[in-house]
Structure 1
Amino acid sequence: MNFYESLGFLVFGSRLRRLSETFLGDVNRIYSAHDLKFDAAWFPVFYILSRKESVSIRDIADELVISHSSVSQLVSALQQKGLVKTTTAADDARRKVVEFTAKGKKLQQQIAPVWTALSQAMEELVNEGRHSKVLLKAIGEVEAGIAQQSLFDRVERIMNP
């Protein structure tokens, strides 16, 4: 049993971070191997824009359940690369709407086959293990539990009955 396995839930976050870093590193290597100038961190915005022609920054933030500020920073980085553009919403001057530029659309089309292959490879990977087949469901259950009561609140309840 390795260090991480021996400590169980005490290092749960560390194991998830390590797995995430490994996964995202491999995904970025895949993009690079296929001469795609794309970063895995851009995926959520690119995916949302691939499904909708234009989306407000607020709608992206709501869909991803992250802050408006985080989305704005990511969109700004994508604008600097010439992949997206923002305009003011026609119905509300306070809202910024994001859409692909021609360069962004072209990159998204080049990346789509990689996403398909990545999805297939992940299905293959999780189907290799007896327990990993339910990984996404298990993660969803943990996320739902945290949404109901944070880990902080749970520890405080245990330490201060």
Structure 2
Amino acid sequence: MAETERSARERSFGRRLAHLGAAWRRQIDHDLRDFGLTEATWRPILYLGLLPPPVRQSDLARALEIEAPSLARLLDVLERRGLIVRTRDKEDRRAKLVRLSPGGQRIEHQVRQAADSVSARLLRDVTPNELQACYAVFDRIESALGAPRDADGAPIAETVAAGTVAALPCG
């Protein structure tokens, strides 16, 4: 590959990756519109279903890569809708713990099904080898970024999104 073609591809890689992530999330939004959920509300519900409960509000903000005040407003909405429960952390009175309510657990199941459906639809023509190669590239990029890793060496973002929505660009 010519040097100018390589540099052009490198310049467009991040932009294309971000575009794909946004388009992927819009597909999930579309599938969840009947539930009255938007990306802002379904992502916290999804992450609360993936993380062991209860989750510190600050940890959830970090996992979602959003600012704590923005998350607090989203959680206010979810709490008013009866989808989450927040309590004070007994170990740190300044911190709040968040968990899904029974109604939130039912919605989380719907969110996970929508994410799984979108993943299946969008990855239908991608071979297992192609997907494995893509993950290898993601791993190298995350390593270059100095992404934190769990005890098994997997990137934390992958650990959070483990299971049926591992391919979901939750960014």
Q: Scaled by the length of structure 2, what TM-score is found?
A: 0.63
Q: Write the mapping of 1:10-159 to structure 2, written as runs, cut at 5 A.
A: 10-32=11-33, 35-51=34-50, 52-64=52-64, 67-127=67-127, 131-147=130-146
Which is helix-richer, 1 or 2?
1
Kindly name which structure, 1 or 2, has the bigger radius of gyration based on alpha carbons.
1
What SS class does the counterpart of residue 126 from structure 1 fall into?
Answer: coil
Q: Unmatched 5+ residue regions in structure 2?
A: 1-5, 148-171
**AA in 2 matched with 1:140:** D
Instruction: Please state how far the C-alpha of 1:66 moved relative to its aligned partner.
Output: 5.5
RMSD, matched Cα: 3.1
CA 1:43–1:133: 2 relative to 1, 3 Å: farther
Instruction: Please state how far the C-alpha of 1:134 moved relative to its aligned partner.
Output: 1.9
Instruction: Please state how far the C-alpha of 1:77 moved relative to its aligned partner.
Output: 4.1
CA 1:109–1:18: 2 relative to 1, 3 Å: closer
How many residues align structurally? Answer: 141
Contact in 1 for aligned 2:28/2:115 (Cα 8 Å) = no
What SS class does the counterpart of residue 35 from structure 2 fall into?
Answer: coil
Instruction: Please state how far the C-alpha of 1:145 moved relative to its aligned partner.
Output: 0.2
Measured in 1, the distance between the counterparts of 2:100 and 2:65 equals 21
Contact in 1 for aligned 2:44/2:60 (Cα 8 Å) = yes
**AA in 1 matched with 2:29:** N
Measured in 1, the distance between the counterparts of 2:109 and 2:95 equals 27
What SS class does the counterpart of residue 72 from structure 2 fall into?
Answer: helix
Measured in 2, the distance between the counterparts of 1:44 and 1:137 equals 25
**AA in 2 matched with 1:25:** R
Q: Scaled by the length of structure 1, what TM-score is found?
A: 0.66
Contact in 2 for aligned 1:126/1:135 (Cα 8 Å) = no
Greater relative contact order: 1 or 2 (C-alpha under 8 angstroms, separation 6 or more)? 2
User: Which residue number in structure 2 is paired with residue 154 of structure 1?
Assistant: none
**AA in 1 matched with 2:103:** K
Measured in 1, the distance between the counterparts of 2:42 and 2:133 equals 23
Instruction: Please state how far the C-alpha of 1:56 moved relative to its aligned partner.
Output: 0.9
Measured in 2, the distance between the counterparts of 1:131 and 1:106 equals 34
